[in-house]
C-alpha cells in the first residue's frame, strides 16, 4: 500500500468502517510510514492543535524563524532510520504541523520506494546480439597487435609520460657514453677535447673557409672564360652559317639557269626532229 491509498481509506479507517484485511494493511503502512502516522496524529489532535500551531508559527516568526530548513536537513536521516529518537520525534511533530514539509516527506518516502526499482532496465532483445557483434572484432584480435597498441596508446597518454621519457633518455645517453662499459667509451672525452681545443678548431675552420672561397673564385673565373669561349664560337658559327646560306642560294640560282637552258635546248631539239620527220614523210609521198 502506498500513501495515496492510505489517504483514501483514512476516513473509513478512523470511523472503523474498514474490513479486517484492509485495517491490517493500514496498520502495516502506519508502522513503516512516518508521514502518514504524522498525518493521522494531526487529524486526531483536533482544533486545539491547530490553535497551537498558529501560535507557534507566530512565535517562530518573531524569534528563530521557520524550522522547515532544520527539519528538511533531517528528513533523509529519518527516512533512512539513522536519526536519534529525539530528532525523529521533533521531525514528526513538525511534519504534523507543516503541510509543505509533510508533502515533501511523503514524496521522498515514495521516491525511496520507486528509485531502487529503477535499478535495472532491460533493453530490447536485440541489444545483446548487437553488443556481441560490436565486440567480435576485438574478440578475434584479443591477443594480437591491437592490444599492444592499446597499451602503448595508454602509456603515451599518461600525464607524466614526457617526464618519464626525458628521464629514460638521459639514462640512455649516460649509459651509452658515460660509463666504463659503454660501447663508445671515449666519445665523451673526444667531444670534450675537441671542445677544449677551441683555437685550433677555429683556425682550422677559418682555413677551410678560405680554401673554399679560393676554390669558389677559381670556379667563377673558369665559368666566365667558358662563357666567353662559348659566345665566340657561337659568333663564328653564325658567320659560317651565313656563308653557307649564300653559297646555297648561288647554287640554287645556277641550277635554275641550267635547267632553263637545258629545257630550251631540248625543246629546239624536239622541234628539229619533228621538222625532219615531217619532211621525210612529205618526201615519201
- Write down the least CB distance from residue 74 to other proteins, Å: 8
The nearer residue to other proteins, 127 or 274, going by C-beta atoms, is 127
Q: Which residues bind other proteins (CB under 8 A)?
A: 2-4, 72-73, 75-77, 79, 103-105, 107-108, 110-112, 114-124, 127-128, 130-132, 134-135, 138-139, 142, 150
In whole angstroms, the minimum distance from the beta carbon of 150 to other proteins comes to 7
Residue 135 vs 201, nearer CB to other proteins:
135
Burial label, 90 (beta-carbon count in 10 A; 0-12, 13-18, 19+)? middle
Select 81 or 116, whichever has its Cβ closest to other proteins: 116
> Which secondary structure element, helix H or strand E, spans residue 242, and what is its range?
helix 198-284
Q: Which long-range contacts (CB under 8 A, 24 or more apart) does 8-13 make?
A: 10/39, 10/40, 10/43
User: Under a CB-based contact definition with an 8 Å cutoff, are residues 33 and 2 in contact?
Assistant: no
User: Closest distance between other proteins and the C-beta of residue 33, in Å?
Assistant: 13
Residue 123 beta carbon to other proteins: minimum distance, rounded to whole angstroms: 5
User: 102: which residues sit within 8 A by CB, 6+ positions away?
Assistant: 35, 38, 39, 95, 96
Which of helix, strand or coil describes residue 184? coil
Contact 175, 182 (CB under 8 A): yes
From residue 86, give the alpha-carbon distance in Å to each of 74, 90, 92. Answer: 12, 6, 10
CB-nearer residue toward other proteins: 46 or 129: 129
Judged by beta carbon, residue 73 or residue 255, the one nearer other proteins is 73
* CB closer to other proteins out of 65 and 76: 76
Tell me which residue of 62, 64, 105 sits closest to 83, measured CA to CA: 105
Compute the least distance from the CB of residue 1 to other proteins, in Å: 12
The distance of closest approach from Cβ of residue 173 to other proteins in the complex, given in angstroms and rounded to an integer, is 34
Instruction: Give the chain's length.
Output: 285
Amino acid at each position: 500500500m502506498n500513501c495515496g491509498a492510505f489517504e483514501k481509506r483514512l476516513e473509513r479507517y478512523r470511523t472503523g468502517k474498514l474490513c479486517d484485511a484492509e485495517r491490517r494493511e493500514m496498520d502495516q503502512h502506519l508502522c513503516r510510514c512516518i508521514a502518514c502516522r504524522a498525518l493521522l496524529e494531526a487529524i486526531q489532535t483536533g482544533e486545539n492543535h491547530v490553535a497551537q500551531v498558529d501560535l507557534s508559527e507566530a512565535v517562530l516568526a518573531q524569534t528563530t524563524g521557520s524550522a522547515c530548513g532544520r527539519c528538511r536537513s533531517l528528513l533523509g536521516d529519518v527516512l533512512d532510520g539513522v536519526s536519534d529518537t529525539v530528532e525523529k520525534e521533533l521531525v514528526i511533530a513538525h511534519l504534523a504541523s507543516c503541510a509543505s514539509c509533510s508533502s515533501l516527506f511523503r514524496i521522498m518516502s515514495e521516491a525511496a520506494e520507486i528509485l531502487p526499482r529503477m535499478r535495472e532496465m532491460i533493453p530490447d532483445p536485440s541489444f545483446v546480439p548487437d553488443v556481441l557483434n560490436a565486440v567480435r572484432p576485438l574478440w578475434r584480435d584479443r591477443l594480437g597487435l591491437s592490444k599492444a597498441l592499446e597499451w602503448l596508446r595508454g602509456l603515451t597518454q599518461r600525464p607524466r609520460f614526457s617526464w618519464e621519457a626525458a628521464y629514460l633518455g638521459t639514462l640512455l645517453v649516460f649509459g651509452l657514453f658515460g660509463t666504463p662499459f659503454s660501447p663508445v667509451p671515449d666519445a665523451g672525452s673526444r667531444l670534450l677535447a675537441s671542445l677544449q681545443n677551441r683555437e685550433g678548431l677555429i683556425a682550422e675552420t677559418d682555413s677551410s673557409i678560405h680554401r673554399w672561397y679560393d676554390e669558389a673564385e677559381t670556379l667563377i673565373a673558369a665559368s666566365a672564360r667558358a662563357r666567353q669561349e662559348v659566345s665566340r664560337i657561337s659568333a663564328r658559327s653564325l658567320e659560317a652559317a651565313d656563308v653557307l646560306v649564300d653559297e646555297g642560294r648561288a647554287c640554287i640560282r645556277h641550277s635554275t639557269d641550267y635547267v632553263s637552258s637545258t629545257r630550251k635546248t631540248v625543246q629546239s631539239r624536239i622541234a628539229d626532229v619533228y621538222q625532219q620527220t615531217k619532211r621525210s614523210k612529205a618526201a615519201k609521198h
